[in-house]
Structure 1
Amino acid sequence: MSFETVKAHFEKWNREADIMEFETSSATVEQAAATIGVIPARIAKTLSFRGEEDQAILVVAAGDAKIDNKKFRKTFNFKARMLSPDEVLEQTGHAIGGVCPFGLANDLKVHLDISLKRFDTVFPACGSTNSAIELTCDELYEYSSASQWVDVCKGWEEESHEVAAIAGKQSGS
């Protein structure tokens, strides 16, 4: 049912036909990247945290990014505590492996991490363990009704510097 809710969500922009369904699982970053044929960093993973007053907040980040607890606390003024699988399903309407910021069961705050901005397009899940859609960062922001871009992740910066250095060498810089 979660997949159908997401599909209905994308009807507002006439993008429901752009949702990809796969024969294989795309439940983890690695599985999604292999199935789609992209590097894991381009998978837009949705992380669910316990917010204030039992309201979850979602952070969508690049597949190679990890939450930086200090940055998270500084940004949101509370400790990063992930939801249990049951809480994720209750708050978002999506089971682990298909969690996305679309077609949510509750009106949750969605935040996009800047780790995504280094890509022209990213691939968030679409409510099931075998679906995704390719979106630009601007489309992701609009379709998810994101409240803001945040900088709450680590681990991806090193890779982007390495990629930039390699790209510089390849172009003769």
Structure 2
Amino acid sequence: MTENLPPRSRLVHDAVRAAGIGGEIVVLPDAASTAPLAAAALGVEVGAIANSLVFFSDGAPLLVMTSGAHRVDTAALAERLGRGKIQRATPEQVREATGQAIGGVAPTGHPAPLTTVVDEALAAYPEIWAAGGTPHTVFPLTFDDLVRLTGGTVLKVD
């Protein structure tokens, strides 16, 4: 029931539905702004959390959907992508690029599509969970759904 969702999560819900993905957005009682917090709240392995990290590279935002069990090796990822230096976005840049706050960035529902990389390690999980537009919202999907939803390039990120 989308009327109970925060406005940002309703945008994510609509984008997820438009992509033909059926997972419902879950509102958590406590913020799950990190992969370990989200995993604990959901009772899943931290690796099954699709952590949304926003970076800047070559003057544009880059969304990296990484397994919660990984840290992004920005130098290696830049080399794999054939890009210049990849730097962490500021909170202001994250909000401008996604319309969402750090800790709640969803893989979709942004003002404009973002170039996206999807961590190949997420393929190991039959179900993964991503933020739903706020630190209190998450939703389930499959690896293939995440790749299709984001139009992402699948790569090793760690």
| 1:48 Cα offset (Å) | 0.6
Contact residue 21 and residue 132 of structure 1 kept, 8 A: yes
**Equivalent of 1:56 in 36, 61, 84:** 61
Segments of 5+ residues of structure 2 without an aligned counterpart are 1-6
Contact residue 27 and residue 136 of structure 2 kept, 8 A: yes
The residue aligned with 1:86 is 92
Give the alignment's Cα RMSD to 1 decimal. 1.6
1 or 2, which has the higher helix percentage? 1
| 1:2 Cα offset (Å) | 1.8
The residue aligned with 2:74 is 69
C-alpha separation between the residues in 2 aligned to 1:92 and 1:13?
A: 18
C-alpha separation between the residues in 1 aligned to 2:142 and 2:105?
A: 18
The residue aligned with 2:4 is none
Identity %: 26
The residue aligned with 2:33 is 27
From the CA coordinates, give the structure whose radius of gyration is larger: 1
Which residue type is aligned with residue 25 of structure 2?
A: I
Name the SS for the 2:102 alignment partner: coil
Please, what TM-score do these two structures have when normalized by structure 1? 0.81
Runs of 4+ in 1 over 4 A off after TM superposition: 13-17
Q: After superposition, where does 1:1-173 map in structure 2 within 5 Å?
A: 1-13=7-19, 15=21, 18-52=24-58, 54-76=59-81, 77-146=83-152, 148-153=153-158
The number of residues matched between the two structures is 151
Contact residue 121 and residue 135 of structure 1 kept, 8 A: yes
Please, what TM-score do these two structures have when normalized by structure 2? 0.88
Name the SS for the 2:85 alignment partner: coil
C-alpha separation between the residues in 2 aligned to 1:10 and 1:68?
A: 28
C-alpha separation between the residues in 2 aligned to 1:16 and 1:119?
A: 17
C-alpha separation between the residues in 2 aligned to 1:17 and 1:64?
A: 22
Which residue type is aligned with residue 120 of structure 2?
A: I
Once structures 1 and 2 are overlaid, which stretch shifts more, 33-42 or 67-76?
67-76
